[in-house]
Structure 1
Amino acid sequence: MLLAPKLLRSSPSPSALIAMGALVMIELTSACNVVRIGERKISRKLQRKGLDANTALLGEANVHYWDSGDSPETAGAVPVVLVHGFGASAMWQWHEQVGPLAAERRVIVPDLLWFGESWSRKRDFSIDHQVETLVALLDHLGLQRAHFVGISYGGIVVHELAAMHPDRVAKLAIMDSPGRVYTEADHAALLARFEVEDFADVLVPTEPEDIETLMALGYHKPPRAPRWVHRQVLEGMYGEFRDEKAALLARLLEQLDELDERPGKVTQETLLIWGEHDPVFPVEIGERLAAELPEGTRLRVVEGASHAPNLEHGALVAKWLVEFL
C-alpha cells in the first residue's frame, strides 16, 4: 500500500499499474482474510492466558503445541493436555477452556500429527502413532502423567492412551467420542444421515459448500457466512495435509473394528461430555460408552449443542472440566 504514492508520482506505465493493482489486492486479501485474523486473535488470547507456542522434534515427528508452563500458582497440580478432533488445529478448538484451566494447572494444547503445524516423516496414520507421539511429548516435557481431555477423533486417541499407558493418565475427559463401543451399524447410520458413501467427504472438505456442512455438523445453530468466507476457511484451514487427513480417517475406520479386541482398558476416573444434538456420535453412543467405563463415570449432556459443545457452550464446558479435574 505504501508503494502507491511513489508509483503514481512517476507516471506509471500500464504494466506498472497492473503490478501495483496486484500488490494492492494481495495486501487487501491478506488483511481481510478471516482465517488469519482469527488466528492472530486466538494467538493473542492464548498468550494473555500465559500459553506460548512451541515446536518439538520427537523422533520422526515434528510437534507444535501451546504450553502455559510451570508457575508458582500451579505448582503441585497435575497438568492437563487438551486433544482436538478433526479440524484445522488445536488453537481453534480449545481457546474457550484454556483460561479457566490455566488458572489452576499447567495446560498443554498440542496439534496432532497432520493437523496445524504438526507432521511426521513416518507415514503411519494409525491411532497408535498419535498415542506414541503424545507419550513422547510427555517425556519431552518431563511429565510422568497428566490429565487428558479429548474430543471426537482426539477422544479416541486419549481413550487408547489411557488404556495402553494407564500410568501416564491421571483423569480422563472424553467429549462426543465413542471409545471402543462404535459398531458397523453405527457407521452405516452415520453415512445414511449425511447421505455419503465415505465420511471423508464430510470431514475433509474440498469445496466451499463443504464448509457449510461442517459448520452444521459442529454447531446446533451454525453461524452464517458468505461463500467467500467459506472459501477462505477451506484454503486457510484445510489446504494443508489434505491427503494425510483422508488417510488418517481411512485408517481410523479400519481400527474402530479392532479396538474392542485390544488388551487393556480404561480404569481412570472419567467424565463424558456430549452435545445433545450430535449427528456424528449421537448421545446413545455416549450412554453405551459410559456403561463400559469405570463405575462412577458420569455422562453430562450439553443442551442446545451439536458435535462441538466446547465451541458452542465454551464457558459451561470449561466449568465442568475445572470441577472434574
Structure 2
Amino acid sequence: MASTKSFRHLLLLFAVALLSLFHRVVAAARHLLSFVSLGEFRKPALLLIHGFGGNSKWQWERQIGALSRSFDLYIPDLLFFGRSRSSCADRSVGYQARCVAEAMRLLGVARYSVMGISYGGFVAFRLAEMEAESVERVAILTAGIYMSPEQLRVMSAKEKRDVCELLLPQKADDLRALVSRSMSAPVLRIRRPRAKLSK
C-alpha cells in the first residue's frame, strides 16, 4: 500500500513538472497572464479557471489527465495569482474576465467552453456573459453566482459581517476565517524556526 501511494505521488510530481513544459505567458498592454496550454487545436477547447487559494496547476492538477483526453486545455493563472500580473488598478471579476478573453484571442482560440471553480466560477460566468459568441458552454463549480438579496442577508447575519469581507479578506484574522471554512480538517500552524541567540 505504501509503495502504491509513493508511486502515485511520484507520478503526480512528474505530471506537475511536465506541465511546466507547456507554460506560456500571454502579454497584453497592461497585463501578463501565465497559462498552461495542452493541445494542438484538434479537440474542443476547454478553459479551466481556478479559485482563490492557489494557482491553476495546484487547483486543477488532478483533473488535467482525464480532461486532456477529450479537450485541448487552457489553464490560466488569474491576475495576481501565480505568475500573472497587471499594472491596472482594477481588481474586479469583470476585469479578470476581460483579460482572460483577450488572452484566449491572442492564443488564437475563437470558440471554447469554460469551467470555473469558486472565484473562478464568478469569472467564468462573467466571461460567458461578455463573450457569448466565443463561449460555447459553461460549468460553474461551488460558486454562488446568483444569491438572492434574502440569501445574502441571511449569510451576512450568520457571519456577522458583509459577505464581501469574508470572501475578500483584508486582515490576517479574516484570511484565517476564510481558510478554515475551505478546509475539511483544521489547518496545522506552520511554526517559524526561532532565531539562534548569539552568546
When the two structures are superposed, what TM-score results if normalisation uses the length of structure 1?
Answer: 0.49
Whole-angstrom CA distance in 2 between matches of 1:110 and 1:43? 20
Contact 1:49 1:102 in 2 (8 A): no
Does 2:24 correspond to 1:54? Answer: yes
1:113 alignment counterpart: 79
DSSP-derived class of the 1:227 partner: coil
1:184 alignment counterpart: 149
| Cα RMSD, aligned residues only | 2.8
Whole-angstrom CA distance in 1 between matches of 2:12 and 2:186? 20
1:45 alignment counterpart: 15
Contact 2:33 2:83 in 1 (8 A): yes
Deviation at 1:64, TM superposition (A): 1.0
Contact 1:62 1:118 in 2 (8 A): yes
Unaligned runs of 5+ in 1: 1-40, 232-325
Identity %: 25
When the two structures are superposed, what TM-score results if normalisation uses the length of structure 2?
Answer: 0.77
How does 1:163-312 map onto structure 2 within 5 Å?
Answer: 163-179=129-145, 181-197=146-162, 199-201=164-166, 203-204=168-169, 206-207=171-172, 210-211=175-176, 213-219=177-183, 222-228=184-190
Deviation at 1:169, TM superposition (A): 0.9
Does 2:48 correspond to 1:67? Answer: no
Contact 2:35 2:75 in 1 (8 A): yes
Does 2:89 correspond to 1:123? Answer: yes
Deviation at 1:138, TM superposition (A): 0.9
Contact 1:146 1:169 in 2 (8 A): yes
DSSP-derived class of the 1:228 partner: coil
Contact 1:57 1:63 in 2 (8 A): yes
CA offsets 1:143-176 (integer angstroms, 9 cap, x no match): 1011100112211221122122112112211112
Contact 2:155 2:163 in 1 (8 A): no
Unaligned runs of 5+ in 2: 1-10, 193-199
Note closer, same or farther for the CA distance 1:121–1:201 as it changes in structure 2 (3 Å cut): same
Larger-Rg structure: 1
**Matched residue pairs, number?**
182
CA offsets 1:212-269 (integer angstroms, 9 cap, x no match): x3344224xx23443116x8xxxxxxxxxxxxxxxxxxxxxxxxxxxxxxxxxxxxxx
Contact 1:138 1:145 in 2 (8 A): no
Whole-angstrom CA distance in 1 between matches of 2:86 and 2:13? 24
Whole-angstrom CA distance in 1 between matches of 2:107 and 2:29? 14
Note closer, same or farther for the CA distance 1:79–1:172 as it changes in structure 2 (3 Å cut): same
2:112 alignment counterpart: 146
Whole-angstrom CA distance in 2 between matches of 1:158 and 1:209? 25
Whole-angstrom CA distance in 2 between matches of 1:227 and 1:129? 34
1:24 alignment counterpart: none
Whole-angstrom CA distance in 2 between matches of 1:195 and 1:95? 35
DSSP-derived class of the 1:46 partner: helix
2:6 alignment counterpart: none
